[in-house]
Amino acid sequence: MNMIGGCDLRDIANRFGTPLYLYDAARIERNCHALRDAFNAHYPATDIFYAVKANGNPHLLRLIASCGTGADCAAPLEVTLAERAGIPREKIMYTGNYESRDDLAAAARCGAVNLDDITAIGKLPAGFDGILSFRINPGEGGGSHPGIVTGGPDAKFGIPIESAPAAYRLAVDRGFTRFGIHLMAGSNNRDPLFFARMAAILCHSAADIFRPLGILPEYFDIGGGFGIPYAEDETPLDLDAMARAVAATLALCASQHGVTPPRLRIEPGRFIVGDAGYLLARVTAVKKGLRRFVGLDAGMNTLIRPALYGSHHRVTVVGKETPAGMATLCGRICENTDIFAADIPFPAVTEGDIVLFHDAGAYCASMAFPYNGRLRPAEVLCDNGKPFRIARAENEAEFMERYEA
């Protein structure tokens, strides 16, 4: 692969340097529309809130918002990012965990807040007039790695379903009048039926929770988690089958409980930006040790997912396709976990060759950190053959400035 979004990768690497995050604007728009179209076809009463944590670059946020999505935020700064992207209050939602009072002061600027615990209710600023919701732990979860399963007995998120009636009772007693209900049970799920299962749990739980209180929730929120293939042999999530199954589940559940199907909220992050982003790096050294090590100017500081979850990213070399033996790809960070891929078939490369990590749009730039004095790279958006720098690389002066007391 030598081109992305109409931009030539060699030109981009020469002009902007490496390591570099690169995004394909058309692909982001296509992903937004694909998800929108799938729900329009089966459950048009669906509102999409992009999970800012996946990639909070303000330029990408504006692009995503221009497709009609709202924003789901997990920290005060993410709320500010969403506001600055021009997203209106009713389309900004807050889903944090173990929120402080300051967190909830920012959350109250949003149209809806999904609280992580019953104790959070007392920390919400007085006068919050948005929609109040609790995140429930559905008792099970799913995700491509144990580290991204966020429901079930080992999850730190949300409240048990059994505690939800008391939480909403307290909210009613405190005078809240607008309610939603939320879950988010895991990330990177490609099984279409996973989402229907979560919708069923949420819908049946909601009936038990809300009927005795005589209130109707304004939304059911099944979170994000819409997966993408990271490996060659993985199949994409069948969006049509997923949306159809969710719609059928909600229709059946609503009719069983004699209520009209509610509005649905979803919070996709990875699905919108994951496969639209790349990490461009250059080979710095090839070492023939006990293995063939290919060292890069990127590292776990720019792409933490392999070290964090053992996750896999496809990797190609610009202009070199044919493998010439096995190689272990690593960065320059002084950690032995700074390995992108171990013993993979890899072309013969030399210093300066350009290596491309695929599917690096989500949870890569947003998780970057400056360990070992390796500062965060620049970001470039390719739009119809035109590259736009949408973040400059951090520099030493900026870094040192923080320490000037």
Ligand X SMILES: Cc1ncc(COP(=O)(O)O)c(C=O)c1O
Tokens (6 digits) for 145: 């790695």
Active site residue 334: yes
CA 403 to centroid of chain Cα atoms: 31
Least Å distance between CB 184 and ligand X?
4
Within 10 Å of residue 210's Cβ, how many Cβ atoms?
19
Kindly state whether residue 361 participates in binding ligand X, applying the rule CB under 6 A.
Answer: no
Least Å distance between CB 213 and ligand X?
24
Least Å distance between CB 361 and ligand X?
10
Q: Tell whether omega for the bond before 268 is within 30 degrees of 0, i.e. cis.
A: no
Nearer to ligand X, 184 or 298 (CB): 184
Residues 209-248: x where in contact with ligand X by CB under 6 A, - otherwise, as a string:
--------------xxxx----------------------
Kindly state whether residue 69 participates in binding ligand X, applying the rule CB under 6 A.
Answer: no
Kindly state whether residue 138 participates in binding ligand X, applying the rule CB under 6 A.
Answer: no
Contact positions with ligand X (CB under 6 A) in 167-206: 184, 187-188
Kindly state whether residue 270 participates in binding ligand X, applying the rule CB under 6 A.
Answer: yes
Kindly state whether residue 305 participates in binding ligand X, applying the rule CB under 6 A.
Answer: no
- The active-site residue out of 73, 253, 330, 334 is 334
Applying CB under 6 A, the span of 50-58, 61-69, 163-171, 238-246 interacting with ligand X comes to: 50-58
Nearer to ligand X, 142 or 306 (CB): 142
Least Å distance between CB 364 and ligand X?
12
The residues annotated as belonging to the active site are 334
Rule CB under 6 A: which residues touch ligand X? 51, 53-54, 72, 95, 184, 187-188, 223-226, 267-271, 362
